[in-house]
Structure 1
Amino acid sequence: MTLYAWEEAVVTRSTRRPPGDDQSRLMVKVARLYHERGQKQAQIAEALGITQVRVSRLLRRAVDVGVVKTVVVSPPGVHTELEDQLQDRFGLNEAVVVDVMSTDERDIAQNLGAAAAAYLDNTLLGDEVLGISSWSANLLAAATFLRPTSSPVVSDVVQLVGGVGDPQVQIEANRLLTTFAAATGATPIFLPAPGLLGTADARRSLMSDPAVQQVTARWAELTTALVGIGALEPSPLLAQSGNSIAAADQDTLRKLGAVGDICLRFFDESGRLVASDLDDRVMGIEPEQLMTVPRRIGVAGGTRKLSALRGVLQGGWINVLVTDITAARHLLGTQ
């Protein structure tokens, strides 16, 4: 992603004083005229009665000996230092940190969605096979904010996990894929199944269905996965939508130490997979296969999801994170 920054040259008195007082004075004078007054090298050469080649050499020398130092000042809303710290701490390939205007989860979703869309606009360059989880307010916002491309940048958008809850949720999952596909020029490939079945036998039966197998076969071709990160405790909006697992299943997972999930695969605070009988009922990509996708983008924020965020980062489930500034500071222990 392209980051914009202001670059400012600062002329200082070097502690490593270059040899020759006359040369030092000339070098500092040239540096001040160039960096502080904005004069061109040809103007400086004419004013001081020296060649432009010498001006250029003096400017390079000023940098070499520390007379001129470059300071990059990030504009408001750009948090490159936090992003670098997240990348170093958790081994991420990329981190995107954004401001949010309130603690309301709907507002957070809009801000994270806009940031994820901007990241994707800059990094989807063509011939991508992208997998996307079935339901996430953050991802739906991202799909909505994507700028339509003049030529396809994604060949196929593949659903990674079925819809969860009542049939309306499958409609929302289809809307997510359709919106994303329309913006990127991709073909949407839907998983014709619920996300969580009642029994393992039902899952085995559906997984052998030819229509389902046509979708699951595409998971091996994924170049990018775009996923939401769920907390064990669903948000009120999520619970009202029917897109959450049953209370009894939540209790079982809580006792096993689960703190969150990706594509209905639950993990603990260290990022380790939590094994339960739910795994045999999930219609979705297996954790091992998800981990082989070259780029795995997680979009999540807010303090409610901090435990899930820590777990997903500790476990290496994702290698690109889009989050908000408050969550980033909590993850780094600076707030």
Structure 2
Amino acid sequence: MPSRYGPPIDVQLRQLTKVAVMYHEQGVRQAQIADALGLSQAKVSRLLKRAAQLGVVRTTVSIAPGLHTELEGELERAFGLAEAVIVDVEDDADEAEQIAAIGGAGAAYLETGFTGADRVGIASWSQTLLATVDRMRPAVNPTVSEVVQLLGGIGVPEVQTQAQRLASELARMLGGQAYYVQAPGVVADRGTRDSLLREPGLQAVMERWRELTAAVVGIGSIDPSDLLAESGNAFEAADRETLLADGAVGDICHRVFRLDGSAIEGDVDARTISIPIDDFRRIPRRIGIAGGERKIGPVRGALAGDG
């Protein structure tokens, strides 16, 4: 026969609920809860843990508009990334507006992303990286020791300063010393490249490539950006045709790859003055900053070849 007073009260459930309300809703510290209820602090801790196990306490994260933590987590798991950052843009945003949004997010990430002892490589001839560096604020204390160009930064004088500014401004923002690759990104033939690589100044920069702890790069498409085209360092039309016929979708520091991430070696690669792909892959942290519909294939290829 049912009790006229209703079901019996679960004493422990009542106790752990009271403890949970005091701790999570009223902000009472565990030691104060223990004193108020005549319990040990260890008992209070166990009750709080049990409350979570029973579902009395549930944790809910309220994600602010414009943040995509769950989607970022899916990307991280799918591609083995340490961290992914997704940026919101308007549906009708043009490429310049997309680059500005990506640059703002990249700047915020780089401002807090280094330890003070990091040696950071930086690519050249990237409009997205320029947008990133232009939006950074100077660090109060140095967060890197040096910033090293990864790709030849000599080009048409009118735009050459942009490539140098990438390294110099990033170094200034993060409090490090800048080092430059005093050579073009692509030269006419293998002999010219080999001769330049024997120069003592370039040899010193190449040694620094092997000591980098992080790299910041754009992810390029085979069709060059305006900045790269104006610099004189873009692939020639005949070279682009050859690369496309070999399955090229993008490049990092002029090292070209296919959609499956495999590197394309050959004449163009042999005329390129930039960090070798094996040295790049040995860098512990490789930060790619890119976006937009034109970069879907290049980003997929870069993710497939990362490792």
> The TM-score by the shorter chain falls in which range?
0.7 to 0.9
Choose the corresponding residue for 1:109, options 88, 99, 117: 99
Matched length: 296
Choose the corresponding residue for 1:173, options 149, 163, 178: 163
State the distance in 2 between where 1:160 and 1:238 align.
15
Residue 95 (structure 1) aligns with: 84
Give the drift of 1:51.
2.9
Give the drift of 1:234.
2.5
8 A contact 1:134–1:162 mirrored in 2:
yes
State the distance in 2 between where 1:61 and 1:97 align.
36
8 A contact 1:195–1:282 mirrored in 2:
yes
Residue 13 (structure 1) aligns with: none
State the distance in 1 between where 2:34 and 2:44 align.
6
The amino acid that maps onto 1:98 is V
Residue 121 (structure 1) aligns with: 111
8 A contact 1:148–1:183 mirrored in 2:
yes
State the distance in 1 between where 2:207 and 2:44 align.
63
8 A contact 1:253–1:276 mirrored in 2:
no
Give the drift of 1:66.
2.2
8 A contact 1:133–1:263 mirrored in 2:
yes
8 A contact 2:154–2:184 mirrored in 1:
yes
Q: Partner of 2:145: helix, strand, or coil?
A: strand
State the distance in 2 between where 1:296 and 1:314 align.
14
Q: Partner of 2:216: helix, strand, or coil?
A: strand
Give the drift of 1:284.
0.9
The amino acid that maps onto 1:135 is W
Over 3 Å counting, the alpha-carbon distance change for 1:104 and 1:164 in structure 2 is farther
Tell which deviates more after alignment, 268-277 or 167-176: 167-176
Residue 257 (structure 2) aligns with: 267
TM-score, length-scaled by structure 1: 0.80
The amino acid that maps onto 1:220 is R
Residues 1:153 and 2:143 are matched in the alignment: yes
Bigger relative contact order (CA 8 A; separation at least 6): 1
TM-score, length-scaled by structure 2: 0.87
State the distance in 1 between where 2:33 and 2:206 align.
67
Residues 217-274 of structure 1: CA deviation (Å, up to 9, x unaligned):
2111111111110011224564455452211111110000000000100000000001
Give the drift of 1:169.
3.5
Tell which deviates more after alignment, 255-264 or 150-159: 150-159
State the distance in 2 between where 1:295 and 1:30 align.
44
- Which one has a larger percent strand, Structure 1 or Structure 2? 1
Identity %: 47
8 A contact 1:164–1:244 mirrored in 2:
no
Residue 213 (structure 2) aligns with: 223
Residue 60 (structure 1) aligns with: 49
Q: Considering only aligned residues, what root-mean-square deviation do their CA atoms show, in Å?
A: 2.5
State the distance in 2 between where 1:224 and 1:107 align.
27
State the distance in 2 between where 1:279 and 1:211 align.
21
Unaligned ranges ≥5, structure 2? 1-7
Over 3 Å counting, the alpha-carbon distance change for 1:218 and 1:300 in structure 2 is same
State the distance in 2 between where 1:73 and 1:249 align.
50
Residues 16-51 of structure 1: CA deviation (Å, up to 9, x unaligned):
xxx962332443355346545x363699789xx833
State the distance in 1 between where 2:171 and 2:44 align.
55
Residue 6 (structure 1) aligns with: none
Residues 40-88 of structure 1: CA deviation (Å, up to 9, x unaligned):
3699789xx8336466654333123222121222222222211111111
Give the drift of 1:212.
1.5
Choose the corresponding residue for 2:243, options 220, 241, 253: 253
Give the drift of 1:132.
0.7
State the distance in 2 between where 1:183 and 1:80 align.
27
State the distance in 1 between where 2:32 and 2:81 align.
47
Tell which deviates more after alignment, 78-87 or 237-246: 237-246
Residues 1:316 and 2:303 are matched in the alignment: no
The amino acid that maps onto 2:114 is L
